[in-house]
Structure 1
């Protein structure tokens, strides 16, 4: 029995495989991330693809990661779930990351730094990655795509309540007027045409109390110009993308409301179709 006490795994290796612990980002230790490292990972083998699952207001990163664990094993894909805590600078703020820039923080840069850090620590293809976000995460990911389409292998936009349309006549963040002043570069819409895009929402995602909150810090006049529900607004974004030459796979999940974990099956299917292209019938 005494000898059995010595049969232990090295802690560093144990917590860096499968569902990992949370790691502070070297870029900014206010932010952190967890991973799912599938058993296919081999430091000396072929680099694994990477899927990034961006949380929403509820900050459920580990739950997203755990939901994707079996999928990650099946497809040999590493999963990264960032954590951008609420209350950064302003203790009452919930929405800091959704608009990419908050004070002197650039959340798009923070995410890319995490991706690059994972690329340094693991044998993973970090140049281009799959990206999904739902609700507040859906807000983040479609705005991220206007800045960094060159880093995306696929983009899945889930039920954002506040949307930035490809509209140069409407002020940021409803449209792209002032985008260059905000971020120091023009939106890269033409490059986004080369990225596979999915939009996904539940058929019963019709509650509006959270997204029609005039006067709150995350409201802007005109946010409801394309509809009052997330379904209506996402359909408008689909039409807007397609009007600009960006093809969209649009998934409506039957019987599902505003439930992030309940829309993930079509997201997994979409990501799998990119990792393993299917023959057209």
Structure 2
């Protein structure tokens, strides 16, 4: 039995109603490898196979999993810069009824969200005309946690990296175990931390100026964590200092008058991404 091939927009005749489901804001597509996970995209209306593969921007949700809302916030950006935007969905409750964090930590218990994202990228490329060798990755809050940890494992797949206000961070620290440091990365993920691989990668750190709340954050030393500070502002600065000590340059954007609000920092994120796309 032959596997069914994913239809691309150009497989359909002009005026076919299916084209409207494959361009613009798409539906949520279940991941073939593991249908517990899904993704949606924004595909520019004039998307075509007659030009080089288009850049791919991946935007990762926070704990509330507002993946479609996040995708929708990039509609005008995708049209203006002729790029495809992919928003994965990592549902809560995957590793247990109270699980909200496993995707952020790149959990090795039951599933690997980093590998699932790479599967989503390859699946998207089977239907749309996008680059798969390197893509642009942005995440905020829980998505910011995912994004910088993903970079430790797959820096070779990134064209740029935007990390927004992570509540917990993983330092390049060979004395502390994952997810606080990188001492046991080889045992956990079959790869070692390689700071040199991140040097030269365009990296943005972005946070609201007033993002100093601590009510929903774990304490700074919970579980043996490095003393990274009590607020997201402290922690993003700790990550920046740690990376700088390893020769990794970052751009820090602090947005005036903004607290912990993903959508209020997106203008700065888009400005950063636009510079990379051009």
Q: TM-score by structure 1 length?
A: 0.91
2:188 pairs with 1:182 = yes
2:261 pairs with 1:255 = no
**What are the residue-to-residue correspondences of 1:18-167 with 2, within 5 Å?**
18-167=24-173
1:110 to partner: Cα distance: 0.2
Could you tell me whether the CA contact under 8 Å between 1:27 and 1:114 is conserved in 2? no
2:236 pairs with 1:242 = no
Question: Cα distance 1:243–1:213, how it changes in 2: closer, same or farther (>3 A)?
Answer: closer
**What RMSD in Å do the two structures reach over aligned CA positions?**
1.6
Could you tell me whether the CA contact under 8 Å between 1:24 and 1:32 is conserved in 2? yes
2:179 pairs with 1:173 = yes
Q: TM-score by structure 2 length?
A: 0.92
**Mapped partners of 2:219, 2:175: distance in 1:** 24
1:28 to partner: Cα distance: 0.9
Deviations 1:236-278 (A, max 9, x none): 11111111111101000101111111111111011111111xx
**Mapped partners of 1:92, 1:12: distance in 2:** 38
**Mapped partners of 1:243, 1:228: distance in 2:** 21
**Mapped partners of 1:73, 1:172: distance in 2:** 39
1:126 to partner: Cα distance: 1.5
Q: 2:235 aligned to 189, 208, 233, which one?
A: 233
Structure 1: gaps of 5 or more residues: 1-7, 277-281
1:235 to partner: Cα distance: 0.6
1:9 to partner: Cα distance: 4.9
Deviations 1:81-140 (A, max 9, x none): 000100113122111201112413111000000011111111111210000000110000
Identify the residue that residue 221 of structure 1 maps to in structure 2.
Answer: 224
Could you tell me whether the CA contact under 8 Å between 1:148 and 1:188 is conserved in 2? no
Identify the residue that residue 7 of structure 2 maps to in structure 1.
Answer: none
**Mapped partners of 1:233, 1:89: distance in 2:** 27
**Mapped partners of 1:59, 1:126: distance in 2:** 24
**Mapped partners of 1:107, 1:265: distance in 2:** 27
**Mapped partners of 2:159, 2:76: distance in 1:** 21
Identify the residue that residue 266 of structure 1 maps to in structure 2.
Answer: 268
Could you tell me whether the CA contact under 8 Å between 1:172 and 1:179 is conserved in 2? yes
Q: Which runs of 4+ in 1 moved over 6 A?
A: none
Q: Size of the alignment, in residue pairs? A: 265
2:208 pairs with 1:206 = no
**Mapped partners of 1:153, 1:214: distance in 2:** 31
For the residue of structure 1 that corresponds to 2:223, the secondary structure is coil
Identify the residue that residue 5 of structure 1 maps to in structure 2.
Answer: none
For the residue of structure 2 that corresponds to 1:63, the secondary structure is helix
